[in-house]
């Protein structure tokens, strides 16, 4: 009887601690999103791009990305879009780095608009540091 009770408590503890750990694990970045990112440095400090969409409006490419901070600490993110044409050549002079603070557990959107209709593809260049 005592052995059964200990086994039940061990099972409950293992299940509960496993569920808590699973909630702390950030969602995996899809290969499609990863192909569009250029990360400066070794990591984005817990910030992930969880959704990425692009469309053409008035023959100009517009991109929207959803960033999520999976940590409790605030993170300062720097980003810029790199626009390329069908041959892979850069379009325009390049954008300046844009700073952004992503609060702990916050989700927000960034948006970029290409310089002109010749842009057919993009990359998002990102860097991050904890505050």
For 59-111, write each residue's pLDDT tens digit.
999 999 999 999 999 999 999 999 999 999 999 988 999 999 999 999 999 99
3-state secondary structure 55-104: EEECCEEEEEEEEEECCCCCEEEEEEEEEECCCCCECCCCCCCEEEEECC
CATH for 29-130, among 2.60.40.3230, 3.40.50.720, 3.40.50.1100, 1.20.80.10? 2.60.40.3230
Q: What is the pLDDT at residue 9? A: 41
Asked whether residue 57 carries a pLDDT value surpassing 80, the answer given is: yes
Q: What is the pLDDT at residue 131? A: 87
The values of phi and psi at residue 9, to 5°, are: -65, -40
Q: Is 2 or 62 the better-scoring residue by pLDDT?
A: 62
Q: How far is CA 88 from CA 33, 83, 122, in A?
A: 18, 9, 9
Domain ranges for the chain, please list them. 29-130
Largest CA distance in the chain: 75
- Residue 55: half-sphere exposure toward Cβ, Cα within 13 Å: 4
Q: What is the pLDDT at residue 27? A: 56
Q: What is the pLDDT at residue 121? A: 97
Q: How far is CA 70 from CA 24, 63, 103, 126, in A?
A: 8, 22, 10, 16
Q: What is the pLDDT at residue 42? A: 87
Q: What is the pLDDT at residue 106? A: 97
Which residue from 35, 119, 111 is spatially nearest to 83, judged by alpha carbons? 119
pLDDT, tens only, 21-52 = 444 444 567 899 999 999 998 899 999 999 99
Q: Compute CA 119 distance to the chain's CA centroid, rounded to the nearest angstrom.
A: 23
Strand partners, 32: none
Q: What is the pLDDT at residue 4? A: 45
Asked whether residue 128 carries a pLDDT value surpassing 50, the answer given is: yes
């Amino acid at each position: 009887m005592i052995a059964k009770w200990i086994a039940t408590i061990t099972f409950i503890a293992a299940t509960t601690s496993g569920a808590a750990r699973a909630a702390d694990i950030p969602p995996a970045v899809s290969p499609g999103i990863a192909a569009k990112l250029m990360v400066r440095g070794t990591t984005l400090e817990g910030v992930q791009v969880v959704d990425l969409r692009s469309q053409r409006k008035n023959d100009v490419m517009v991109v929207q990305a959803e960033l999520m901070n999976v940590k409790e600490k605030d993170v300062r993110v720097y980003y810029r879009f790199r626009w390329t044409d069908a041959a892979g050549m850069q379009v325009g002079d390049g954008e300046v780095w844009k700073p952004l603070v992503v609060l702990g557990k916050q989700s927000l959107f960034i948006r970029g608009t290409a310089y002109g209709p010749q842009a057919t593809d993009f990359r998002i260049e990102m860097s991050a540091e904890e505050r």
